Structure 1
């Protein structure tokens, strides 16, 4: 079963491919044909069923949602204040008499997202949502597209600006395994991106060689670069380049989790105070320390996935 959860809403796909929605619909993030603020019970998203569209991947941000079909098409709905649905700008409400200030920034119905793919085909296979930005992967080319909130450079394009439609993230290989030509000279090649992760203010990309690239705000060390500087474009985490191959990544608001092929979990960023430790206050979310380079955490055997939430707690399966 596929499941995605936002701040106050969720979607899931059952065994026969029907998409259900539940929770907050204040920004129309559920994609249902009901103008109601909340759904207490799982409700079919008939948009897909009516069009015989099968969903194979989905993701949720704070108040927006993305869906990917088995034919490689991507759909979005919900809060579009920063462009995080990828559906562009324009009049988003049905009332032609409303003033500009009254125009809603929410996508009331599901819409098909347009990509300028180099392959000329729809090959989108996975999607990832931060609070207010999104990244989608084109598996055929190993390309990542970003859109939405970009104030902290979390879109990876070097600009502190929002994007309302998908744009490819340009990244040159920084790997020690770059191709070498006949003269022994290194030949840089673009890495093939296979996975992404989105936090609130930062993002991660994983390539097919197990290398991780980070970008965005780095105040808490969540970029894993060994400092608290921000990165405006994807920058490889050099401490992982020697003998570590990462197989899964996840972002919290101020931390990152990385899982390698030896089932070792690496944490960087803000670490919250563990239970039953001394504190100067009674705040359970009091920051404890910053980890600026990936540090290992002991895991049970057979770990294959890692997850972060807003408060940087984690779980694995």
Structure 2
């Protein structure tokens, strides 16, 4: 599933410049014990990494951490399309021409290069893969899986619990095909928990192997499995997708039902309690049909999207235990992990469409403001016209929704004259309705604060207060204080008062203070006295 959402929602990406974040990234992933490591691919097919370079997980040839992106030369221009990571951390990447690269922590052979040496740079994995092309990658804490376009699964790395699926528990240093039970079956998707693995085959059956101490294999017991076993608790169901959390598992049926099993100490199964389950339980039946599920082996959180586009989450959400699916205001599953997962890591690589010749909705609305060609209404302010669209104003502002009643439309009016506000103020207000942002100097923000107060625009009022606070100084604090009192902006009033008292000697010498309304001045002097400003 491709999305066009803002990568800056991830804390580490918020450090980058807007032009890079918005227009430069094609694919990205965030990982690490604190969500403080990131790798991204640009639309020019250049690969960059930044953040904490623990165990050389950034693939830069050293272990130096940096919040400034550095290029991974060995991966540029190779068409990298898939990324997965373990908690060592180690990273595995696949390119469009079928090559697989790995780097980072390798104490348990999880890089698949035949050694246990740390991987400072991306190293191509060959092993037993031959000419197979990779369709999916998955990593557990210290093991790795890849799915080929032939429906075969190869695995390597830490195998203490059988998570590599070799039938034994010895670590595997190079890719080995998982043949037991899966031989002759076509696997369509794979997933990894910390020390467990799942595979969905084209018949809709699910197979699990590895650690099972919390029942995450769904076999009805807590016995580890070194070879794939059919998840018997899903018998009779056609499963289209599976996902693994740290120690719990999820499955989505072709009928849009979600089934969960495994560890549940944070409510990550969504069953309404915190009891572990060794077999699958259906959840969210009353919500409706689901079309997507998500989890990550880094965390104890679960998420799902319904057919109508509603996003739900449950489990450990920013330290809180939510035991039943909770509806959010998000529009994609990725946002759940950006905002509520601990740590904030991607559960899959983020992908961003390159809209050549097509503007975003935000950009389109911004360009539509004050556009005479498309507008159907104009405001006349101080002899200047501002062109707008009635429909958008009605949607965005209660004041205009009340104004543009049916009888008003019938009159055919296309011009409104405004006399109570200045042109800069009213222009900024109308532009705010199109862009949700304000750009005004503090002195004009006072007038906009007046407008916001008159039109009951609470969010705009807060933005004005922010602008005024950021522009406060000795010369204008008296004016700003008077405005805050007049427009009942209590937080701003307290902020201005404190600033004035802290710079009292300089403030009382300004012309603005001398012109302060007598009532306001007396009130200020009284409060300043109570504050202790005049004590010797």
Q: TM-score range by the shorter chain?
A: 0.7 to 0.9
Contact 1:250–1:306 under 8 Å retained in 2: no
Q: How does 1:51-70 map to 2 (within 5 A)?
A: 51-70=130-149
Q: Which runs of 5+ in 2 are unaligned?
A: 1-80, 352-536
The normalised TM-score by structure 2 is 0.47
1:228-280 CA-partner distances (Å, limit 9, x unpaired): 1121101100x3345232323224532211122222221111222xxxxxxxx
More strand by share: 1
> Which residue number corresponds to residue 158 of structure 1?
220
Q: Decide whether aligned partners of structure 1 residues 156 and 36 sit closer, same or farther in structure 2, where only a CA change above 3 A counts.
A: closer
Structure 1 runs of 4+ aligned residues shifted over 6 Å read: none
Whole-angstrom distance in 2 between the partners of 1:296 and 1:262? 12
CA RMSD in angstroms comes to: 2.2
Q: How does 1:227-238 map to 2 (within 5 A)?
A: 227-237=273-283
The normalised TM-score by structure 1 is 0.77
Q: How does 1:1-317 map to 2 (within 5 A)?
A: 1-7=81-87, 8-33=89-114, 35-47=115-127, 51-89=130-168, 105-116=170-181, 121-139=184-202, 141-172=203-234, 190-237=236-283, 239-241=284-286, 243-251=288-296, 253-272=299-318, 287=319, 289-300=320-331, 303=332, 308=337, 311=342, 313=344
Larger Rg: 2
Shift of 1:116: 2.3
Contact 1:221–1:291 under 8 Å retained in 2: yes
Alignment length, in residue pairs? 264
Shift of 1:6: 0.9
Shift of 1:42: 1.0
SS of match in other structure, 1:240: coil
Whole-angstrom distance in 1 between the partners of 2:333 and 2:324? 22
Q: Decide whether aligned partners of structure 1 residues 172 and 27 sit closer, same or farther in structure 2, where only a CA change above 3 A counts.
A: closer
Whole-angstrom distance in 1 between the partners of 2:217 and 2:303? 19
1:272-304 CA-partner distances (Å, limit 9, x unpaired): 2xxxxxxxxxxxxxx3x221110011124xx37
Shift of 1:171: 2.9
Contact 1:248–1:305 under 8 Å retained in 2: no
Q: Which runs of 5+ in 1 are unaligned?
A: 91-104, 174-189, 273-286
SS of match in other structure, 1:44: strand
| Higher RCO, Cα 8 Å, sep 6+ | 1
